[in-house]
Amino acid sequence: MSMLTRRRLLSRAALSATAGAAGAGPRTGALATAVAATAGSLAAGCGTGSDPDTDPTDRPRGERRFPTGFGWGAATSAYQIEGAAKEDGRGESVWDTFSHTPGRTRNGDTGDVAADHYHRYADDLDLMRDLGLRSYRFSISWPRIQADGTGTVNQRGLDFYRRLVDGLHERGISPMATLFHWDLPQALQDAGGWENRDTAYRFAEYAEAVFRGLGDQVPAWLTINEPKTVVQNGYLSGHHAPGFQDPQAAYLVAHHLQLAHGLAVRALRATGDAGRIGPALNLHPCYPADDSPEATRAAHLYDGYENRLYLDPVFKGSYPADVLADLGADSRLARGVADGDLEIISSPVDLLAVQYYTPYYVTGDGGTVMRWPTSQADWQQIYPDGMYDTLTRVTRDYGPIPLTVTENGLPQADTLSADGTVDDAGRISFLRDHLAAAHRAISDGVPLESYHVWSLLDNFEWAEGYDQRWGLVYVDYPTQRRVLKRSAHWYREVIRSNGL
Ligand code: FCB
């Protein structure tokens, strides 16, 4: 295994330990040719980043109008908000096991109760309506639908999502459902999890059951949330479930996750439903940390592991040659690709969901350095131009596939003040600057249809437990009371005026 691959095992630690060392990376320019058919008309004027001296709660100035009908949204996932871990026939997932294993999560936090959304979904729907959301991205918990990941469908689990989806429609909000946001049924993990090729086929059966139960009401589906995070955090660093450190297994898992994606796309088509479907990928622009040829080469390979490994199979029907070569001809990934798999994985999709949080700056030896201010999440660098670079790059390299941003946001240690407000001005600056970057990408021809803040609610942030608050809405966990943060009020105005 190559040096770069080995270094990736330590990448999170390296990221948090090397702040502020790198030089400027190259910057992607505007798209050379505008992509046809960008929806609606845009006001001219791209503007610059935010002015730290102005009040961040300024009403939108009307400088950047988004296309008519733009899908303003917010996102969540099942295990992070639902709670009700043992109710209505829900089985155990790998995250139940992992979070209940001592030492795995901060403070030993679990998703047993989380934001109690399973019981409070109706109030949460009202909050979404009050914010003016047009789109809500949530995930379906596989172990609620099939407790052990196979066989009979648990109708009570399906009914919960039916009530949720109906409630969205009643409030004029468009549902966008993710089929897998990391909560693999534990029984499937016990049978080998994503290392086992069969899991991809079990996923397709589960997906088909969900399509049959909800397909008439869900216009947009996302298959697998961030396969890369399962690979890197679940099987390289091990700080996510299932908690392994096994590079050879990791990239076989990457293949099976993508096979599962392709099989689910085919399962949806087989139902004849009109719903759209696509993958949800966290993409990271990878810039050389300096102008040496070594850094340029290393950044290109890093991009292979971060981005092309997940984009190329879906949109080009092949794995990137440089990554395959780096893994070695005899890797479990290379050996795990059966005839016909890449045809399945590259089944045509209707949209690509992009999740953008941070860029990487890559040094000549394949390590990374920090260049921009970080947030409460030590892996995050706040770099809004990275959003522009990511969106334009996808359109340039993979064609004018409709795009949705399904995650973008930052965590803060938000507090509820005595007067009952939560002042998260930093989040407003972050969102405004990233939305400005998204607007600039649209102006340059990127077919971006919608944008979802991560997250609607404060929630269980995986290994970080409840310390990091990512929501527009503050959750007071002891009482489960919801309080709109200052950013939520700001976002409501953005939505109302359809721009910044
Ligand atoms: C993404 C995950 C999401 C949340 C955000 C902060 O990688 O998809 O569940 O944890 O990061």
Query: What is the torsional sign of CA 409, 414, 419, 423?
Result: negative
Q: What is the pLDDT of residue 60?
A: 83
State the burial class of residue 37 (Cβ atoms within 10 Å of its Cβ: 0-12, 13-18, 19+): exposed
pLDDT tens-digit series, residues 310-321: 999 999 999 999
Euclidean distance between CA atoms 351 and 154, whole angstroms: 29
| Strand pairing report for 352-355 and 360-362 | unpaired
CA of 45 to the centre of ligand 1 (A): 32
| pTM for the whole structure | 0.91
What single letter denotes the amino acid at residue 124?
A: D
CA 6, 363, 357, 470 torsion-angle sign: positive
Binding pocket residue ranges, ligand 1, CB within 6 Å: 77, 80, 225-226, 229, 282, 407, 454, 461-462, 470
3-class SS letters over 407-426: ECCCCECCCCCCCCCCCCHH
Asked if 450 contacts 137 with a C-beta cutoff of 8 angstroms, the reply is no
Token pair 């795990």 is at which residue? 336
pLDDT band at 10 (very low <50, low <70, confident <90, very high): very low
DSSP reduced 3-state for 452: strand
Residue type, 303: D
pLDDT of residue 29: 29
Assign 487 a pLDDT band (cuts: 50, 70, 90). very high
**Percentage helix, strand, coil for the chain under 3-state DSSP, each rounded to 5:** 40, 15, 45
For ligand 1, the distance from its centroid to the CA atom of residue 378, given in whole angstroms, is 14
Do 95 and 182 form a contact (C-beta atoms < 8 A)? yes
Residue nearest to atom 10 of ligand 1 (CA): 461
Query: Does position 11 have pLDDT exceeding 50, yes or no?
Result: no
Q: What pLDDT band is residue 63 in, cutting at 50, 70 and 90?
A: confident
pLDDT tens for 172-204 read 999 999 999 999 999 999 999 999 999 999 999
Closest CA to 440 of 59, 75, 43: 43
Residues known to be catalytic: 226, 407
273 versus 293: which is more confidently predicted? 293
Mutate-to-test residue for ligand 1 from 226, 230, 233, highest number of ligand atoms within 8 A of CB: 226
Q: Mapping DSSP to helix (H, G, I), strand (E, B) and coil, where does residue 77 land?
A: coil
Strands 368-369 and 360-362: antiparallel
What average pLDDT does range 163-170 have in this prediction?
Answer: 98
Residue 203: closest CA among 176, 185, 221, 190: 185
CA 229 – ligand 1 centroid, Å? 9
Reference 433, options 394, 498, 388; nearest CA is 388
Asked if residues 104 and 144 have their Cβ atoms less than 8 Å apart, the reply is: no
Is the pLDDT at 30 greater than 80? The verdict is no
